[in-house]
Amino acid sequence: MSGGRWGSRIGTLLGAVLLAAVPAGVLASSASADRLIVGYRDGVGAARRASAREAVDGKLVGRLPALSADVVTVPAGDGADALAELRDRSGVRYAERDVVDRVASVPDDPGFGSLWNLARIGAPTVWDRITDSSSVVVAVVDSGVALTHPDLAGELWHNPGETGGGREDNGIDDDHNGFVDDAVGWNFHDNDNDPSPNHPHGTHVAGTIGATGDNGLGVTGVAWRSTIMPVGAMGPDGTGYRSDIARAFDYAASNGARIVNASLAGTGRSDVYRDVMAAHPDTLFVVAAGNDGSDDDAVPITPCDEDVPNLICVAASDRADRLADFSNYGATDVDIAAPGVDILSLFPDDTLGVMSGTSMATPLVTGVAALTLAAHPWLTTTELRDAVLAGARRLPSLDGLVATGGRLDAPGAMAAAGDRVAPSTPAITAPAGDGWSAGAPVVRWTAAADDQSGVAGYDVDVDGRRVGSVAAGTTELALPALPDGHHSVIVTARDGEGNRAPSAARAFATDATAPVPPAPRTPGARARVRRGALAFAFAPAADATSGLRGTGVLLDGRPVALDAFGRPRLRARLAEGAHRWSTTAVDNAGNAAASAPVAFTLDDRAPTVSLAGARRLRVRGGTVAVTRRTDEASRATVELVAGATAARALHLPVRGRSARLGSTTVRLGTAPRTLRLRVARDTLRRLALLRRVKLRVAVVATDGAGNRRSVVLAGRT
């Protein structure tokens, strides 16, 4: 151990009840008066308190407002009678001596030790998971802490209400907590805002809890990154009033400390300790069992033996995991053991020193509790205490000596604190379970909740295969492309500790393939159609996956309704000319397809036909020739017809007052064309015998749309 001005103080410092309590008042000398702490019942006002003091010739020297208690001095030697008198008064809840305890020490050889204690409790294993407990404020109620020590300066608590903008030393109680300029804590022993050390004990304890790790300096605390609140309560001689300690406890808890390390102990029990700890159920108080080698169950030690649920009392163990020979024990009142022999830590003059005692074991428990709470911030104080104790390593050497029968174990505490409750179950809201999706849908679900480690994210599995994960706060995921068909999706919520809550499976179906649209049949490509004959006909559509929802027809790019015969139902008359039509199909997943468009012409105008020829028709070579002209391509039927009289002369059967001598069917274009009709030989012979027979040529032209036009050329042979 390094020497320096603390050399004479090296040894095992057992935090005796460093009880100092007097608010803004001035401490009276214990040599000339007996100091008492008087706790009053609710509703007892200043007049009744003054009456109680007068009854015992007492003088008010301080107050503990948070505990409804006063510090009173009575003439020296009158303490016992005054206590009896006060306890009999109806307004007094309790009265006890404001004890002055001295630090009890076990001599120890100077020298540097090793950090065997951290290895023994498994701290390096926990460091793989977490080293930063800066989110947890840990108060060290002790002899002050070296505020500028390079291994602690970056770990100290700074009061946000008294820090910045010159508030540190402006002489004003900026945060209205009753303490002026308490920027880095408070010293209740000296009643000022400087919690610097007057003894190495507090700095040694703080170093074990949270000396900066991995910085190449000094030692490593249990929690490398800490927020340590220095609260002075003991004097340079290792003594302090119980009332000061109670006020220190109240200050620490009231200003945000989740854990208070109190490496101190005193004999008997204390109502003021019990009350102040009970008043702060959200703060865990970690205290020393004492260094008298005695049974705390038989000889009470305070605050170790106080009956409050937010307290851990710590015994000291040695390198062999046996109870240290100086350590107090107690199968009921002492909770756990921790290494407390030859513990190397910080000293105020930037050096290191070795100490032993339950005071050295206590900060190990505090440090593990801080790491455990930082890793599991949802823990209540009761749950945190239970985790530290449940994680203890059970050892035969400690069985019956401490309540857990075990020694502190950091991995065990971390495991015991784990969140084993799964988050609430998410419910899938999309896709719908009774329909088809076109391709990969978006999966949506309700948010899960977790009161402990919180929801960390969600995993989405389709058909038993992980397809994606999202962080908490996101409740949807677009699925990747999936094969057509039926699928099943499950959304699983994960909390911060890895507990999982899968949703009910949601069945859904995907179909990313468009259907085969109907094949257009009529009107065919380049067809000419009369308006009255316009009707659409097509082959059936097909969809092999989700099935067809419907088919339709587009006329000139717009949907058109059809009647039962395929005829379009149009609100306006369809103009003659060129048009296009196509078919459409939609499947049950919403995929749509359309056929290639088919061009057709709407034509309601009959072709015009003109014939050229003489009024005298000549039959030559068995044929009659006529010349025809038309304005569009058409199919023409040409007939040579004789009247009834001529027909009888020609011995031809008469039908409808005429007889047909010959006919032909031809394709006509727009250019003039000479048509020749062949006449039967017998008919030609008879015609040759007759003169001036009345004949006519009839031409019926039909265009592609079926429109017809008839013309007749009459003449004589």
Q: Which pairs from 572-576 meet CB under 8 Å and 24+ separation?
A: 573/531, 574/531, 574/534, 574/602, 575/602, 576/531, 576/601, 576/602, 576/603, 576/604, 576/605
Residue 523: is the preceding peptide bond cis (ω within 30°)? Answer: yes
What dotted CATH number matches 104-416?
3.40.50.200
pLDDT value at residue 614: 52
Residue 463 annotated as catalytic = no
pLDDT value at residue 114: 65
Q: How far is CA 671 from CA 185, 700, 708, in A?
A: 116, 17, 18
pLDDT value at residue 667: 86
CATH 3.30.70.80, the chain: domain bounds: 22-97
Residue 502: is the preceding peptide bond cis (ω within 30°)? Answer: no
Q: 149, 189, 199, 201: which one is catalytic? A: 201
CATH number for 22-97 (one of 3.40.140.10, 3.40.1710.10, 3.30.70.80, 2.40.420.20): it is 3.30.70.80
* Whether 582 contacts 598, CB under 8 Å: yes
CATH 2.60.40.10, the chain: domain bounds: 428-510
What dotted CATH number matches 520-602?
2.60.40
pLDDT value at residue 105: 32
Q: How many degrees, rounded to 5, is the angle at CA 384 between CA 330 and CA 369? A: 80
Residue 57 annotated as catalytic = no
Question: Could you say which DSSP state residue 295 is in?
Answer: B
Tokens 């009459």 belong to 714
Q: What is the tens place of the pLDDT at every residue in 176-185?
A: 999 999 999 9
As a whole number of angstroms, the distance between CA 43 and CA 46 comes to 10
CA dihedral over 446, 450, 453, 459, signed as positive or negative: negative
Q: What percent of the residues of the chain are helix, what percent strand, and what percent coil, each to the nearest 5?
A: 20, 35, 45
Architecture in CATH for domain 428-510 = Sandwich (2.60)
* Beta bridge pairs of residue 625: 676
pTM for this model (two decimals): 0.68
Structure tokens at 417: 């604190």
Of 232, 359, 218, the C-alpha closest to 287 is: 359
Tokens 């004492």 belong to 290
Q: Per residue in 603-636, is it b (16+ CB within 10 Å) or e — as a string? A: beebbebebebeeebebeeebbebebebebebeb
pLDDT value at residue 629: 79
Question: Could you say which DSSP state residue 65 is in?
Answer: G
Q: 142, 174, 318, 335: which one is catalytic? A: 142
DSSP SS3 for 414 = helix
Q: What is the tens place of the pLDDT at every residue in 530-555?
A: 999 999 999 999 999 999 999 999 99
Q: What stretches in the chain show pLDDT beneath 50?
A: 1-31, 102-113
What dotted CATH number matches 609-716?
2.60.40.1940
CATH 3.40.50.200, the chain: domain bounds: 104-416
As a whole number of angstroms, the distance between CA 609 and CA 236 comes to 134
Q: 68, 226, 317, 359: which one is catalytic? A: 359
Residue 105 annotated as catalytic = no
